[in-house]
Chain A
Amino acid sequence: MEERFIIELTQSLKNFLPEVSLTVTLSLVILLDLIFGRRFKNIGAFVSLAGLVVTLFFTIKQYGGSYQIFRGMFVVDPYSTFFKFVFLLSAFVIVIFSLQSYELRETSARRRIGEYYFFILSLTLGAFLMAGSVNLIMMYLSLELVSISSYILAGYIKESERSSEASMKYVIYGALSSGLMIYGISLVYGLTGELNIYAINASFLSSGYSPIVLMISLVLILAGFGYKISAVPFHYWTPDVYEGAPITVTAFLSVSSKAAGFAMLVRFLKASFIDRTITLGIEGAWAVIQGLPLTEIVAVLSALTMTVGNIIAIWQNNLKRMLAYSSIAHAGYILMGVVVMQNLGISAMLIYFLAYLFMNLGAFYCVMLVAEKTGSEDIEVYKGLGYRAPFLSIVFTIFLVSLTGIPPTFGFIGKLYLFSALINAKVIWLAVVGVLNSVVSLYYYIRVVRNMFLGDPESGKEPINFSPAHIVVMLILVIPTLLFGVYFTPIVNFAQISVAMFGLR
Chain B
Amino acid sequence: MQILGIGILTWIVFLPIVAMIFVLLVPKGRETWIKWISVVATGLQVILAAVLLLNYRYDLAGVNTLEGFQFVEKYRWIDVSGVAWFGRIVIDYFLGVDGLSMPMVVLTALISFIGAIASWELPKTKGYYALYLLLDTGMMGVFVALDFFLFYIFWEVMLLPMYFLIGIWGGPRREYAAIKFFIYTLLGSVLMLLVMIGLYFSTSIIDPVTGEKVHTFNMLAMMDPKNYEPGSIFSGLHTTWRYIAYIALFIGFAIKVPIVPFHTWLPDAHVEAPTPISVILAGVLLKMGTYGMLRISFPIFPDGMIKYALPMAILGFINIVYGALAAMAQEDFKKLIAYSSISHMGYVVLGMAALNTQGVTGAIMQMFNHGTITAMLFLIVGVLYDRAHTRGLYEFGGLANQMPKYFGIVIIAFFAALGLPGLSGFISEAFVFLGAFQTYKWIAIFSATGVIITAGYILWTTQRLFFGQLPERWKNLPDINARELVTLVPLAIIVIFLGVYPSPLINLMNTSVNHLVKFVSEMGQAGMQLGILP
Contact = CB atoms under 8 A, between A and B. Distances in A.
Contacts, number: 96
B201 A420 contact: yes
B183 A443 contact: yes
Nearest to A491: B80
10 contacts: A284-B84, A407-B156, A412-B156, A424-B201, A439-B186, A443-B183, A489-B78, A489-B80, A496-B80, A496-B83
Interface in A399-457: 401, 406-408, 412, 416, 419-420, 423-424, 426, 428, 431-432, 435-436, 438-439, 442-443, 446, 450, 453-454
B503 interface: no
A493 B85 contact: no
Nearest to A440: B183
A450 B179 contact: yes
Interface string B98-135: 00000000000000000000000000000000000000
Nearest to B198: A423
Interface in A335-367: 342-344, 347
Contact of B201 (A416, A423, A493): A423
Contact of B183 (A344, A439, A487, A497): A439
Given A488-B78, A497-B83, A442 B186 contact: yes
A439 B201 contact: no
Contact of B86 (A412, A416, A487, A496): A496
Contacts of A435: 190-191, 193-194
Given A407-B157, A408-B157, A423-B194, 15 more contacts: A284-B85, A343-B86, A344-B85, A406-B156, A419-B193, A420-B197, A423-B201, A426-B233, A435-B191, A438-B186, A442-B186, A453-B167, A454-B167, A489-B78, A492-B89
Q: Considering the complex of A and B, which 7 residue pairs feature the smallest CB-CB distances, nearest first? A: A284-B85, A435-B190, A283-B85, A343-B85, A492-B80, A454-B167, A407-B153
Given A408-B153, A493-B81, A453 B168 contact: yes
Chain A, interface size category, equals 35 or more
Contacts of B201: 420, 423-424
Nearest to B244: A428
Interface of A: 282-285, 342-344, 347, 397, 401, 406-408, 412, 416, 419-420, 423-424, 426, 428, 431-432, 435-436, 438-439, 442-443, 446, 450, 453-454, 486-489, 492-493, 496-497
Given A407-B157, A454-B178, A423 B163 contact: no
Contacts of B157: 407-408
B78 A487 contact: yes
Nearest to B192: A435
Contacts of B472: none
A405 B327 CA distance: 37
B457 interface: no
Interface in B33-53: none
Given A423-B197, A423-B198, A453 B164 contact: yes
B187 A439 contact: yes
Contacts of B198: 423
A440 B9 CA distance: 36
B175 interface: yes
Contact of A406 (B81, B174, B183, B186): B186
Interface string B173-206: 0110011001100110011011001101100000
A446 B185 CA distance: 14
Interface string B61-93: 000000000000000011111011110010000
A463 to B, nearest CB: 12
B100 to A, nearest CB: 24
B84 A283 contact: yes
B326 interface: no
A396 to B, nearest CB: 13
B309 interface: no
Main secondary structure of the interface of B (DSSP, over half): helix
Contacts of A406: 156, 159-160, 186
B79 A489 contact: yes
Nearest to B241: A428
B152 interface: yes
Main secondary structure of the interface of A (DSSP, over half): helix
A431 B179 contact: no
A347 B187 CA distance: 26
A401 B194 CA distance: 19
A379 to B, nearest CB: 14
Nearest to A346: B85
Nearest to A494: B80
Contacts of A408: 153, 156-157
Which of A343, A344, A406: most chain B CB closer than 10 A? Answer: A406
A408 B138 CA distance: 11
Contacts of A347: 86
Contacts of B183: 439, 442-443
A438 B190 contact: yes
Contacts of B178: 450, 454
A212 B312 CA distance: 52
Contacts of B193: 416, 419, 435
B168 A342 contact: no
Contacts of B163: 446
Contacts of A284: 84-86
A344 B86 contact: yes
Contacts of B83: 343, 496-497
A446 B178 CA distance: 10
A9 to B, nearest CB: 34
Contacts of A344: 85-86
Contacts of A488: 78
Contact of A419 (B167, B174, B182, B197): B197
A416 B197 contact: yes
Contacts of B182: 442, 446
A304 to B, nearest CB: 20
B306 to A, nearest CB: 24
Interface in B142-175: 152-153, 156-157, 159-160, 163-164, 167-168, 174-175
Nearest to B199: A423
B44 to A, nearest CB: 24
Contacts of A496: 80, 83, 86
A354 B81 CA distance: 20
A432 B197 contact: no
A423 B179 contact: no
Contacts of A416: 193, 197
Contacts of B153: 407-408, 486
B168 A493 contact: no
A487 B91 CA distance: 11
A454 B157 CA distance: 20
Given A435-B190, A443-B183, A454 B175 contact: yes
Interface in B210-263: 233
Contacts of A486: 153
A484 to B, nearest CB: 11
Contacts of B85: 282-285, 342-344
Contacts of A426: 233
Contacts of B187: 436, 439
A284 B85 CA distance: 5
A435 B167 CA distance: 24
A432 to B, nearest CB: 7
Contact of B194 (A285, A431, A489): A431
Contacts of A497: 83
Nearest to A412: B156
A435 B78 CA distance: 24
A431 B86 CA distance: 20
B175 A450 contact: yes
Nearest to A423: B197
Which of B77, B79, B86, B163: most chain A CB closer than 10 A? Answer: B86
B35 to A, nearest CB: 20
Given A342-B85, A439-B186, A442-B182, A419 B159 contact: no
Nearest to B79: A489
A391 to B, nearest CB: 12
A488 B193 CA distance: 18
Given A426-B233, A489-B80, A436 B167 contact: no
